[in-house]
Chain A
């Protein structure tokens, strides 16, 4: 158990809908990262937050948004969903934003868009 909790574990929704994925970081971790992994693809970095502020942005679509709340949990919002958004979405957390500290991953949310 990495200490990073993601909910829900599975989500099935229709095209055009909006969903929210939740991530609770390890206790004390200030930085949260979001990744997308489509079937048999690599981990695509989406966005990073550090202590409530956006720190880095990857190839995140405009239909997607995220935020980190004062209690440090984070949510990834996916809207106008398309079939191609079906993927595993992982959240990771680390104590700080940079290297020198390890990041730990949750077990992911499997999103299926039908």
Chain B
């Protein structure tokens, strides 16, 4: 799996959009981009994933650049409860593939 690079920490004002970048410059054509978050010591929570196209769900939007070398997770209206460590990972597609490894992630702090 390709490796990802994320800033170690970011701050965001409550009610504003939080834009979390992720660099995955060595991503392969069949690798998906995934985002998870971990609030304190809880189990990581799935947020969103995508392959090529931008994706949106009730939690967030995922913007993937045309060359797929980077992506941005957008939390449109951050709340204090969005304070967490956010992980960007890439995984090869298909049914018969491999593990899911996490990096250090970005610690997002939403401030009042």
Interface residues of A, Cβ cutoff 8 Å to B: 2, 4, 33, 35, 37, 42-43, 45, 48, 50, 55-56, 58, 88, 90, 92, 96-100, 102-108, 110
Contact = CB atoms under 8 A, between A and B. Distances in A.
Q: Chain A CB within 10 Å — which of B30, B41, B92 has the most? A: B41
Contact of A97 (B32, B98, B102): B98
A113 to B, nearest CB: 17
Contacts, number: 83
Contacts of A35: 102
Interface of B: 30-32, 34, 38, 41-46, 49, 51, 87, 90-105
A43 B44 contact: yes
Given A55-B99, A99-B30, A102-B49, 5 more contacts: A58-B101, A96-B96, A98-B91, A98-B93, A102-B34
Main secondary structure of the interface of A (DSSP, over half): strand
A4 B96 CA distance: 21
A13 B38 CA distance: 26
A20 B85 CA distance: 28
A48 B98 contact: yes
A56 B101 CA distance: 11
Contacts of A55: 98-99
Given A2-B43, A42-B105, A104-B46, A99 B92 contact: yes
